[in-house]
Structure formats: C-alpha cells, structure tokens
Amino acid sequence: MQPLSPPAPFFIEQVEQDQWIPPKRWADWPELILVQTGEGCHAVNGNPFAYRSGDVFFLGAQDQYSFAIAQRTSFCRLSFSPFFVDSLPARHAWGYLDGGASPCLGPIATDAADQEKLRALVGMLLAEEPGLRPCTDNFVVESLLTVILSLVGRLLTRTALAPSTRLTHSVDLTRRVIAYITRHIGEPHRLRLETLADAFNYSPGHLSALFKEQAGDSIQHYIIRHKLNLVARRLRQTSLTVSQVADEFGFTDVCHLNKLFKRHYKRTPTTYRQSVWL
C-alpha cells in the first residue's frame, strides 16, 4: 500500500524515460517538474501543451497530468508537503502553493533566465541528496527549497496577473496541433497536411506558417522527427524487424526509413539497434 506521506517534508527524484510512467503521488502535495532534456506533449486536466527542454511545470495536488514523450526525456520532479509550505516566510504572498489546482496549466517559466535559476537551484538541491533520497534536518536543503518555492510563487503570481503571459491564439493552436500529431502518429492518412488543416479549419498554407512561427520547424519536419524518435524507441525496446517498424509508422519502404533515420541518427536502423543491444 502506498504510504500516506514520505519520510520528509519534500521528495525529489530525477528520471529519464522513453515512455511516461506515472509517478507515485501523495495527497495534498503540489509538484514542480523540470524538463531537463527531451520533447513531447504534456496534458494537464485534459489540456494539451507541447513541452521541450527547459520547460517548468507546477502541478497542484488536484491536477491530473501525463506526458506523451516524443523524444527521450529527462525529468526532475519535486514534491513538497503543504505543512512545509505553511511554515515558509511570506506564505501569504504566494497562496497558489496550497493543495488545490494550479492557476497555470502550461509552463510557468518561459524566460531563459528564470529557467536557468530554477535549474541551478534544483541542481544544488540534488547535490545535497545522495542517492536522490530525501534529507531531513539539513539547513542547506531547507534553505534551497525555500528559495525554489519563493521563485515558483513569484512566477505563478506573474502568470496569473500579467495578461501578456497568457497563451496567444497561435501558441495554443500549435500546441493543439502537436497534441493531434502525437495522438495520430501511427495513422499516416491523418497526418497529411491537407487533412490536418481541415481538422483545425485552416488552409494548409496558413496553418503551416503559424506552426513554423511558433515551433521553429515545419509541420512535416516535426512529424518526421517525431516518427524517427519513436522508431528509435521501437528498435531499443522491441524485436520488431526494421520492415515492420517502417510499416507501423507509414514509411514508404525500408529504404525510405533508412535514408531518413541515417540523416537524423548518423547510422542505419540496423546498426543503431546493434549499438544499443551490445
């Protein structure tokens, strides 16, 4: 049976995953998740958001979330007790850290400087955590956690109060397109640009322009990159033949897959599999 609470006022873990494995959660404990590397789609309470390296998400205790991982992702997850939050100074200044739902479902740190601050602070916290086990009676740990939560509270307040930080239409559209791609990646007919544009009531040209403006890549290049990441996962984790994997993701033939895969991974699917199975 899952314990009611861990043996410390907070818990930190660092994991690297190809496929999302829901973590253990404790009642009334909010969470902070830092994406250190990787990309994919993050869903909070049914709302999809594209994520990439550097993104930071704050989840309230009542938020339901998951990650659809497109590229192998390294997460750092920090959970903290509401009792610890209540003991912090200036608690009234950032009441968003209570046990409810987060006021911001998307990334809370979009500025590179804020992302770097959180990454550095969490890195120091991890350095104080031998074996990634919670420490107790450690002044350095408690001080670091206090600073981290103060910064999170400030970011949440800024997000809630500043209209300029709300999702623009094109950002929201891009995230919904990425969620659609992730959901239908095994259905090539649904990923044709014309079909995808119809699904969002845009012309192909307009949708392509909006997507590239926000994602920095064309829709078709994004789909290919996403497929190749999934192909690499299949090669690592299954015994399917390269031909079967090519069929699964709608490549014209093995030669087509070989060409694209080698361009992306600098080796063929066969040599890639051999290297990871050694």
pLDDT digits (tens, 9 = 90+) for 21-36: 888 887 778 888 899 8
E strand segments, 45-166: 47-52, 56-59, 65-80
Q: Is residue 208, in this structure, part of any structural domain at all? A: yes
pLDDT at 101: 54
Q: Are residues 156 and 177 in the same domain?
A: no
CA 232 vs CA 2, 222, 228, 267: distances in Å: 34, 15, 6, 11
The domain tally of the chain equals 2
Structural domain harbouring 142: 10-165
DSSP state of 19: S
Q: What pLDDT score was predicted for residue 20?
A: 85
Answer yes or no: do 76 and 98 share one domain.
yes
Residue among 186, 211, 216, 213 at smallest CA distance from 200: 211
Whether 2 is covered by a domain: the verdict is no
What ranges make up the beta strands (E) of the chain? 10-17, 31-44, 47-52, 56-59, 65-80
Q: What is the mean pLDDT of residues 186-195?
A: 90
Amino acid 132: pLDDT: 42
pLDDT of 59 higher than 60:
yes
Pair (17, 145) in one structural domain? yes
What pLDDT is attached to residue 196? 93
> Does residue 273 sit within a domain?
yes
The residue whose two tokens read 């450690």 is 138
User: pLDDT tens across 67-117, in order?
Assistant: 888 788 999 988 877 776 666 654 444 455 554 555 566 778 777 888 888
Q: Of 165, 185, 202, which residue sits at a domain end?
A: 165
Q: Do 82 and 209 reside in the same domain of the chain?
A: no
Which residue, of 139, 165, 191, is where some domain finishes?
165
- Asked if residue 103 belongs to a domain, the reply is yes
Q: What pLDDT is attached to residue 222?
A: 86
Whether 17 and 114 share a structural domain: yes
**116 and 83 assigned to the same domain:** yes
What is the Cα–Cα distance from 272 to 258, expressed in whole angstroms? 11
Closest CA to 81 of 152, 169, 10, 22: 10
Q: Is residue 66 part of a domain?
A: yes
Q: Is residue 15 part of a domain?
A: yes
Task: Kindly state the DSSP code that residue 9 receives in the 8-state scheme.
Answer: S
Looking at residue 60, what DSSP letter applies?
A: -
Note whether residue 4 is domain-resident: no
Question: What is the rounded average pLDDT for all residues in the chain?
Answer: 78
More confident residue, 8 or 5: 8
Same domain? For 151 and 173 the reply is: no
Span 39-62, mean pLDDT? 80
Question: In terms of domains, do 151 and 179 share one?
Answer: no
**Banded pLDDT at 197 (limits 50, 70, 90):** very high
Let me know whether 237 and 173 are in one domain: yes
3 inside domain: no
Residue 69 sits in a domain of what CATH number? 2.60.120.10
CATH code of the domain containing 251: 1.10.10.60
Query: What pLDDT does residue 165 have?
Result: 41
CB 120 within 8 A of CB 107: no
- Which of residues 117, 140, 165 is at a domain's end? 165
pTM of the model: 0.59
Does 175 lie in the same domain as 159?
A: no
**Residues 217 and 258 both lie in one domain:** yes
pLDDT band for position 203 (50/70/90)? very high
Same domain, 148 and 212: no
